[in-house]
Every structure is written in C-alpha cells, then in structure tokens.
Structure 1
Amino acid sequence: MQVEAGLRERKKQQTRAALADAALRLALEKGPDAVTVEEIAEAADVSVRTFFNYFPHKEHAILARNPEHLERALDRMRTAPADESPLTTMWFVVNDVLRELENDGHVSRRGELIMSSPNLLYQLMLTSIDDERQLTAALTERMGEPAGSVRPALIVSAAGAACRMVMELRKAAPDRQIRDLLQEAFQLLAQGIDPAFGPNSEKKGHS
C-alpha cells in the first residue's frame, strides 16, 4: 500500500513538473499571452482534463504554482518548536521553498519572464497575497495573539518581501547566491532595519 501510494505521488510530481516545464518553454517561445492550455497539455503528453487536475489556468502552470508548498509551510508553522522565534519559523518555511526553486533549474528564466509580463506579475501578486493571508492566520494562532495583530502579519509580509527583493537583486548581482542574499535580508529583519526610526521626534529645522 505504501509503495503504491509512493509511486502515485511520484507520478503526480512528474506530471506537474512536465506541465510546468512545457508551459514555461512555450511561454518563452511564443509569449505567455499567446500560449494555450491545449498546447501545454499536448507538449506534456497529457489531456486537457489532466491539465486542470493540476492547475486552474495556464498562468499557474507558467508560474509552476504548487499548492503543496503552502500546505508544507502551514504544517511547518503548526509544528514548530515552542521556543522557536516566529521569524526563525519563517526562515525555515522560506528555505523549504528555496530548495524547491534550486532543484527547479528554471528559476532565473521563469523569474525574468514573470518580470516582463504584467499578467504573470498580477497572478503572482494574487497568489502571494492569498498565501500570506493563510500564513499570517497560522502564525497568529501559533503566537497566541488575537486576530488583527500587527506583529505576525508583519513578519510574514516582511519574509515575502525579502524573497521578492532577493530575486530582483540577483539580476543586478548575478555572482551572489540567492541563499546568501536571503540570509542577509533575514539578518537585517532580525536586527531591525533602522533602529533610529522616529517619525514623531521633533527635528531641527522642521516645524
């Protein structure tokens, strides 16, 4: 039973990867707006019905959107050690996704394509907002804070912003590793980006 379940899961992962690879290749060749679901399914050698078992639309396939990533992140958050800080938990969550990206092999090309397509950027923004909403709810519960608390929401949003910033900075500094940039970003978040922050203090020369 376990062997069969493992084989089924491996087959699902292979099919999802084949669809995502085909979607990216066709989007790079033709442009993301010109690609159709039918073309992606044909290139991956599956039916259109199978395509929709994995992705709700072609943009999610081009983005290589995998809902299992979010499920793993939520599970990691719920099962985090009691003495682990919230930002540390987010670091482990982000690193899990980073490992997936490193194994992808297409992260740079996919990132460049996304940045050049307003539609893909919009879809990425929508999925990111939904992910952050669910992660914030889970972290709020884990921290024992009431709904609407700023701290857990800020931690989740800052971690997401750090990931997006790192992908953008990598274009200007291709010699730097994504993991090193991310480590630096999280270290700055942990230390406080600007300890001298004080908008309510009276400044000389200002009324």
Structure 2
Amino acid sequence: MTVDQEAAMGRRDRKKQQTRAALITAALRLVSERGVDAVTVEDISDAADVSSRTFFNYFSCKNEALTGDAIRDNHRLLERLAAVPADVPTIGAVRLALEETLQEMQANQELWLLRMQVVDRNPSLLPRLVASGVETERALAGLIAARTGVDPDTDVYPALVAAVASAACRVAAARWFASGGHRLLTELVDEAFATLAAGLPDPRPIL
C-alpha cells in the first residue's frame, strides 16, 4: 500500500468515525427532547445530515444508536483483557482492560451523561441494555475461565467475577451520573474495584 493509499484509508476511517458520532449525538439529543417513541430513524438521519440508508450502515435500529453496540464493545474489552499479563490478579486485570473505555467515556462526558439521562427517562430502552449486559458478562466469564484455567461449567468463579465486575461498573456509572459528572468516573470505578478486591469488607466498626 502506498503512502497516498494509507492516507486515503485514514481519511475514510476518520470520516466513518465522525459520521457514527454524529448519528449517536443526533439520536440522543432528539430523544432527550422528544422521547424515544417520537423520534424516527429519518429524524436522526436528517439531524446528522445523512440518508437513512447511511444510518443503517452503522446501526441495525434506532435503539442501537441510543444504547450502543454490545458486540463491538465486547470485542474491544476482550482484546484488552487478553493483553493483560497473566500474573495480574483477575479483578485487577478486568479493571485494566476497562481503562481505555473509561477514559473515552470521561473524555466524552457530556454525551455519556446525556445517554444515561435518556435511558433513565425512557424505560423501554432497558431490556436492550439488560440483554447487552448479559452478553458482556457471558463473554467476560469465558475469557476469565480461560485466563484462570477453570471450567466455566463447573466452577462458579468466572461467572461470579464477571457479574460483580459488571455490577461495580454500573454502580460507579450511576454515582457518576448522580454527581452530574463532577466526580471522575475512573476514580469511582477504582473505588468500586478496590472494595471488590478487598472482599467487600463490612464498613461497620467491629465492636
């Protein structure tokens, strides 16, 4: 591949990323204003200045633009977890694998807080998020099983770690949203994972 071809490919990739971001932003802002049932794919496409056909090049449906692509996100998380050295304890390894995603969320704080507001105000989006969470936990448990050398069908450890790690992220994100973004998401996640790594000790003083 020539330098010019590489540059052209880089421009195309950036254009795709910009178009995807524009569609997500348009979808969230419109639904925030009108509610999910009052917004169509055509509305979103018009707001992003693209065709409906272009919309479906990026998303399978309106709700995917609002809640995210679980398959894409899972693939990225698993790649990062697989790259964490094997001698890192499992909870710490999962936290390291999440770092890039958390930094991206922090950098795009306004958009992510808007997404959380949209979900909070439109409960019809919750089933998709729950299904997405199940897929993420299943994929994460499989890699944790491979990493620790245990059988996921007979050992509770992989599924349990995946579940509590997901719960820690949800709790941290909820606290981030409740603070209006005034607290750093990464700090809130670190706090949650540190508590997990300590074994969820009882915060009450021992008498």
TM-score (norm 1): 0.86
**Secondary structure of the structure 2 residue equivalent to 1:183:** helix
**Structure 2 gap segments, 5+ residues each:** none
Question: Is residue 67 of structure 2 the alignment partner of residue 63 of structure 1?
Answer: yes
Q: Which residue of 2 aligns with 1:167?
A: 173
1:156 aligned to which of 144, 159, 162: 162
Q: Which residue of 2 aligns with 1:8?
A: 12
Residues 21-30 or 148-157, more deviating? 148-157
Q: Is this contact kept in 2: 1:20–1:63, CA < 8 A?
A: no
RMSD: 2.0
**Structure 1 gap segments, 5+ residues each:** 197-207
Q: Which residue of 2 aligns with 1:199?
A: none
**Secondary structure of the structure 2 residue equivalent to 1:125:** helix
Q: How many angstroms apart in 2 are the aligned matches of 1:41 and 1:172?
A: 31
Q: How many angstroms apart in 1 are the aligned matches of 2:32 and 2:202?
A: 44
The C-alpha deviation readout for 1:53-97, integer Å capped at 9, x for no partner, is: 211111111124374432221111222212122111210222221
The C-alpha deviation readout for 1:3-58, integer Å capped at 9, x for no partner, is: 33322221211111000000001101111121111111111112212211211111
TM-score (norm 2): 0.86
Q: How many angstroms apart in 2 are the aligned matches of 1:43 and 1:66?
A: 24
Higher relative contact order (CA 8 A, sep 6+): 2
Count of aligned positions? 196
Counterparts in 2 of 1:15 and 1:162: CA distance versus 1, 3 Å: same
Q: How many angstroms apart in 2 are the aligned matches of 1:139 and 1:4?
A: 39
Shift of 1:144: 1.5
Q: How many angstroms apart in 2 are the aligned matches of 1:61 and 1:68?
A: 13
Aligned pairs for 1:102-181 within 5 A = 102-104=106-108, 105-148=110-153, 149-174=155-180, 175-181=182-188
Counterparts in 2 of 1:157 and 1:66: CA distance versus 1, 3 Å: closer
Q: How many angstroms apart in 2 are the aligned matches of 1:143 and 1:43?
A: 48
Question: Is residue 79 of structure 2 the alignment partner of residue 75 of structure 1?
Answer: yes
Shift of 1:165: 0.8
Aligned pairs for 1:24-103 within 5 A = 24-65=28-69, 67-103=71-107
Shift of 1:110: 1.5
Code of the aligned partner of 1:170: W
